[in-house]
């Protein structure tokens, strides 16, 4: 599938909730982009085949249910800049309930994300491997859309990050660093995905 779409995104981890809220409160909200509460359910094989090879299969529940496959990671030499295959699209809401009860139903779904899973991994056996919640707030700065995420893990712990889709990561990095400096924000390049953070908490990934 040579024409698989890609997501190019620069991510920064925000060190504390007060710093995160300072960004959210200081920048204008994006018009027509309401805050989103998202629950993310992840699926993998029993041996974590996808996760151990920079893959991810997710059902995201928000205003709609979205099925997504990603594969890839941080681009070498550009800290926090992720260059990944991303194939996603809405699915019927009932699929979430079906997949949690019988995960392999996903592989029978006629969906581009599943076509990509099969292309990269062939026939596999899936199971749910965890979930996390994201509160996403959209903000604008210098014409860029910032996705400001508050992530809550099943154990109640939280993490905070800012993500910007961009084809010019170093220009975007300079813009973000200016914001952080002006607002006194402590931040650093995010080096792993949300799923990798979840699995690291569980001791599954290093």
Token digits for 81?
A: 């800049």
Token digits for 148?
A: 């400001």
Look at the block and give the residue holding tokens 């973000």. 176
Look at the block and give the residue holding tokens 């996403």. 136
* Structural domain total, the chain: 1
pTM score, whole prediction: 0.96
If residue 103 lies in a helix (H) or strand (E), which one and from where to where?
none
CATH number reported for the structural domain that contains residue 193 in this entry:
2.40.320.10
90-95: average pLDDT:
98
116-124: average pLDDT:
97
pLDDT of residue 3: 78
pLDDT of residue 1: 41
The answer to the question of residue 82 being in a domain is yes
Whether 2 has a pLDDT exceeding 80, the answer reads: no
The answer to the question of residue 206 being in a domain is no
The answer to the question of residue 30 being in a domain is yes
Q: What is the mean pLDDT of the chain?
A: 97
The answer to the question of residue 1 being in a domain is no
% of the chain exceeding 90 in pLDDT:
98
Structural domain including 165 reads 6-201
32-49: average pLDDT:
97
Q: What is the DSSP letter of 28?
A: P
The answer to the question of residue 79 being in a domain is yes
Token digits for 93?
A: 């809401």
pLDDT of residue 171: 98
- Do the beta carbons of residue 25 and residue 181 sit within 8 Å? no
Distance CA 196, CA 206 (A): 9
pLDDT in tens, 122-179: 999 999 999 999 999 999 999 999 999 999 999 999 999 999 999 999 999 999 999 9
The answer to the question of residue 191 being in a domain is yes
The answer to the question of residue 78 being in a domain is yes
The answer to the question of residue 165 being in a domain is yes
Q: Cα-Cα-Cα-Cα dihedral of 52, 172, 29, 42, to 10°? A: -10
pLDDT of residue 103: 98
How many other β-carbons are positioned within 10 Å of the β-carbon of residue 60? 19
pLDDT in tens, 163-194: 999 999 999 999 999 999 999 999 999 999 99
Distance CA 141, CA 133 (A): 25
Q: Give SS3 for 159.
A: strand
Distance CA 173, CA 193 (A): 18
């Amino acid at each position: 599938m040579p024409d698989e779409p890609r997501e190019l995104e620069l991510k920064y981890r925000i060190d504390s909730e007060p710093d995160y809220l300072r960004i959210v409160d200081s920048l204008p909200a994006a018009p027509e982009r309401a805050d989103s509460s998202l629950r993310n359910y992840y699926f993998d094989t029993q041996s974590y085949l996808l996760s151990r090879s920079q893959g991810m299969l997710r059902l995201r529940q928000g205003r709609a249910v979205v099925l997504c496959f990603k594969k890839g990671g941080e681009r070498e030499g550009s800290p926090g800049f992720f260059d990944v295959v991303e194939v996603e699209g809405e699915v019927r809401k009932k699929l979430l309930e079906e997949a949690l009860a019988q995960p392999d139903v996903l592989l029978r779904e006629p969906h581009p994300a599943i076509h990509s899973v099969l292309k990269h991994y062939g026939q596999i056996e899936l199971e749910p491997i965890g979930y996390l919640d994201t509160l996403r707030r959209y903000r604008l700065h210098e014409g860029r859309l910032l996705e400001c995420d508050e992530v809550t893990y099943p154990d109640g712990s939280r993490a905070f990050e800012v993500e910007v889709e961009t084809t010019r990561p170093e220009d975007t990095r300079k813009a973000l660093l200016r914001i952080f400096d002006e607002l006194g924000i402590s931040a650093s390049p995010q080096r792993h995905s949300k799923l990798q953070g979840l699995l690291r908490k569980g001791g599954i990934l290093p």
